[in-house]
Amino acid sequence: MSTIKIRAREKSGVTTIQSLMKHPMETGLRKDAKTGETIPAHFISDVTISLNGEKVMTAYLGPAVSKNPYVSTSIKGAKKGDTITLSWVDNTGENASAEAVVK
């Protein structure tokens, strides 16, 4: 099961990339309701989008971003049939990636 849902659509020379990433995005400030223990920080720190293997965008996130973040951006130069890859790395070293074909 992928932790990322991604789609890319081209219209009039501009490709819109939309993604939803499944991640808890813990700030490190919240306490567990049952134990009272602080929940350790666990958040996506870097999101990278590539077009046919060439990096076109990097976003740096932090603990203030909500659970299951949604990221959308637009790029020029992509054509229908091209491959968009989105990958993320979090502050614990976990990572995930997913691909979409531009439609």
Q: 4-101: which CATH topology?
A: Immunoglobulin-like (2.60.40)
Confidence (pTM)? 0.88
Task: Check residue 66 and give left, alpha or beta (phi > 0: left; psi -120 to 50: alpha).
Answer: beta
3-state secondary structure of 41: coil
Alpha-carbon gap, residue 84 to 34, rounded angstroms: 42
Listed by start position, the domains of the chain span: 4-101
Q: Digits of tens for pLDDT over the chain (103 positions)? A: 358 999 999 999 999 999 999 999 999 999 999 999 999 999 999 999 999 999 999 999 999 999 999 999 999 999 999 999 999 999 999 999 999 999 9
